[in-house]
Amino acid sequence: MRKTRNILQKLINPFTNPHDSDLTRCFKPQLIGDQGRLGDGREVAVKRLAVGSRQGENQFANEASLLSGVQHKNVVHLYGFCIHGDDRLLVYEYVANESLDKILFSSSEECPKRAELNWQRRYSIILAVAKGLLYLHEGTHIPIIHRDIKAANILLDQRWVPKIADFGMARLFPEDESHVNTRVAGTNGYMAPEYLMHGSLSPKADVYSFGVVVLELVMGRQCHSFAPLPGTDAKNLLEWAWKLYKEGRFVEMVDPEIQPNLDQDQVITCVHIGLLCTQAEPKQRPDMRRVGIIFSKKPSTLEEPSRPGIPGHRYTNRSHFTSESLDSSRISSSIGSGIGSSSDSTLTPSTSASASASSSKGKASGSSSAQESICTYNDTS
């Protein structure tokens, strides 16, 4: 433990004990996500890690050391750590809103904030999480693989800006390697097939998880609690999304609570990205830089995905649709005519780029513009 302490003290700010004078309230041992305040007035969230095992000690050291040099507006900021007796505390910036899962997967009655999670906010969250992941994969000294990207690990601040959180299972990734073999750790439904089944880990595992989150935001459904719907043989969220995509049934794909006033090009692009990111073979998934480029393209120019990869299944990937192929105008007509949109939203994707730009009314309250291009995510503020 002394070695761990010495390493961490060189990296980030150590607080001497849980009742440090910098922390104006005491932390109750039974709480995991406690809240406090630093001497300079900054609110903080304190994460207390389980102790008594090498795994818990390693998780603490891993999370603290990996985040020591990370500075990005879409990644939660670590202020410091505390090692005192059996206490292992990580002191983070306080993120005032809920985690994404608590809002997205609740009813409006259970969580009134869900009514505020409109399409423009969801789209902005997708863009911002993509920026955060690109930074982790390409913007740090050594690439970081999060390994557990999911809605529960995306925190939302007062302005609905998302922050990627919980780096207890994250791994550094050597740039000269195509993948590493490692112990499998993550959440069912979000883990890429090659990682879950064979322990083969690369940044494309995070890409897969990101694709699942994108589809969850579009559909308003949670991947690992998906209940088969009457009249369909789809057993999970990805199969259901793929079936609806093939048949052009975009109206049924989109969360009913956000169907009015959608930007059809944005929805089509997000569905494409969700399916491309969840392809069975890692090499068929785009990296996060490529995802940024895809966001800036017209839907009519996007490559067609094949059936998504689901752990335990073996699919023959096809680069093109067969008799079930869709043309872009059919996709656009389906979504434009079925989702309470204005008459000009039925334009085909190839002609609707300017209409899309004019139909988006700037910024949603407290969120970044939905028209923001993430091809330029070199900002790390």
Short-list 85, 167, 82, 161, CA closest to 125: 161
* Residues 210 and 331 both lie in one domain: yes
Which of 75-89, 173-187, 242-256, 304-318: highest mean pLDDT? 242-256
Alpha carbons 372 and 178: distance in angstroms, whole number: 31
Place of tokens 């079930």: 324
Judge if 45 and 164 occupy the same domain.
no
- Say if 88 falls within a structural domain: yes
The range of the structural domain enclosing residue 347 comes to 100-376
Q: Do 207 and 76 belong to one domain?
A: no
**Tokens for 350?**
């190839």
> What pLDDT score was predicted for residue 138?
95
Q: Are 162 and 54 contained in the same domain?
A: no
369 pLDDT tier (thresholds 50, 70, 90): very low
* pLDDT exceeds cutoff 80 at 228: no
Domain boundary among 93, 109, 134: 93
Residues 159 and 281 grouped into a single domain = yes
CATH code of the domain containing 7: 3.30.200.20
Q: Does the residue 36 lie in any domain? A: yes
Question: Does residue 59 fall inside a structural domain?
Answer: yes
Q: Which residues contact 306 (CB under 8 A, 6 or more apart)?
A: 279, 280, 284, 315, 317, 318, 319
What was the pLDDT predicted at 80? Answer: 86
Q: What is the total count of domains within the chain?
A: 2
Q: Are residues 259 and 236 in the same domain?
A: yes
Indicate whether 156 and 120 sit together in one domain: yes
What pLDDT, in 10s, does the model give residues 133-146? 999 999 998 899 99
- The torsion region of residue 86 among left (phi > 0), alpha (psi -120 to 50) and beta comes to alpha
Q: Average pLDDT, stretch 317-345?
A: 38
pLDDT at res. 85: 74
Q: Does any domain span residue 284?
A: yes
pTM for the structure as a whole = 0.75
Q: Over 70: is that where the pLDDT of 238 sits? A: yes
Q: Are 107 and 222 in contact (CB under 8 A)?
A: no
Q: For residue 257, how many other CB atoms are within 10 A of its CB? A: 14
More confident: 113 or 25: 113
Note if 176 is an active site residue: no
Please identify which of the residues 20, 34, 148, 206 carries the catalytic annotation: 148
- Give the span between the Cα atoms of 203 and 139, in whole angstroms: 13
As beta bridge partners, residue 82 has: 15, 89
pLDDT, tens only, 200-213: 999 999 999 999 99
Q: What is the CATH number of the domain that holds 290?
A: 1.10.510.10
Whether 129 is covered by a domain: the verdict is: yes
Range from 10-24, 87-101, 177-191, 317-331 carrying the lowest mean pLDDT = 317-331
| Band of pLDDT at residue 61, cut at 50, 70 and 90 | confident
Based on the domain organization, do 194 and 82 belong to the same domain? Answer: no
Instruction: Please check whether residue 381 lies inside any domain of the structure.
Output: no
86 and 111 share a domain? no
Determine the Cα angle at 65 with ends 63 and 68, to 5°: 105
Across 251-275, average pLDDT: 91
Q: Indicate whether 150 and 41 sit together in one domain.
A: no
Domain boundary among 40, 65, 93: 93
pLDDT in tens, 33-58: 567 777 777 888 888 776 665 666 77
Is residue 55 domain-shared with residue 164, that is, in the same domain?
no
**Which of 67, 93, 119 corresponds to the end of one domain?**
93
308 and 205 belong to one structural domain: yes
Question: pLDDT value at position 353?
Answer: 34
Rounded distance, CA 230 to CA 224, Å? Answer: 18
Task: Pinpoint the alpha helices (H) of the chain.
Answer: 2-11, 54-66, 100-104, 119-134, 193-198, 203-219, 237-247, 250-253, 264-277, 288-295, 328-338, 353-359
